[in-house]
Amino acid sequence: MFSVNGPDGVQVEKLARMLGLNKSGFYHHFGDREGLFTFIVQHHSRMNEQFYNEISAANSFSPGFLNLVIKYRTAVLVQMQLRKHSDVPMFRDAFQAAKKRNTPLILPLWEDYLKISGNPALSKELYTIFQDVFFMRIANEDLTFKLAEGIAMNFLRIISAVKLYGIKLNTPKPPGI
């Protein structure tokens, strides 16, 4: 429910029924909605640890990493909701913790995929933009490998166009420019 609709879409009565609890059983278990959100963030952290371990074994952005995105669909959708609702400190902190942990493993795969080595700042910026575009485009029902790869391929086309016009991507800008 949270991964699809975010915090505003979490309805205690509906969730309690899904868990086989009545409303009072839900409140006994979680305390309140904040308790539920704390549980969700903690669970997300555990799922992210598994995701991280598998990213470290991925040997490519596509299909390797993108297949993991599909495999960990719920964790990816929760990460998207945390990003969208980063005005809530608990969600912002959880989003940033997962991003900080995963990005160093993803960036080399991303750089290789885009064929832009030697400019980690550019790679990181492009990956951040990719992630934001990805989060804007996905929903539970259409999170497929084809969609994820299509978004990534748009970045390949951009890089190809930039290279075609003679802009060098592998050389960091000199200081002061």
DSSP string computed for 34-99:
HHHHHHHHHHHHHHHHHHHHHHTT---IIIIIHHHHHHTHHHHHHHHHHHHTTTSHHHHHHHHHHH
Range of the domain at 129: 2-164
Q: How many domains does the chain have?
A: 1
174 assigned to some structural domain? no
In this prediction, residue 169 carries a pLDDT of 60
- Cα–Cα nearest to 98, from 86, 114, 115: 86
In this prediction, residue 139 carries a pLDDT of 85
Q: What is the CATH number of the domain that holds 110?
A: 1.10.357
Backbone CA torsion sign across 49, 51, 54, 58? negative
In this prediction, residue 93 carries a pLDDT of 97
- Segments of the chain scoring below 70 in pLDDT: 167-177
User: What does the buried/exposed string (b/e) look like for 42-65 if buried means 16 or more CB atoms within 10 Å of the residue's CB?
Assistant: eebeebbeebbeebeebeebbeeb
What predicted TM-score, i.e. pTM, was given to this entire model? 0.84
Q: How many residues does the chain have?
A: 177
93-141 pLDDT tens trace? 999 999 999 999 999 999 999 998 888 888 999 999 999 999 999 988 8
172 assigned to some structural domain? no
83 assigned to some structural domain? yes
| Cβ contact 44:94 at 8 Å | yes
106 assigned to some structural domain? yes
In this prediction, residue 16 carries a pLDDT of 78
142 assigned to some structural domain? yes
In this prediction, residue 170 carries a pLDDT of 59
173 assigned to some structural domain? no
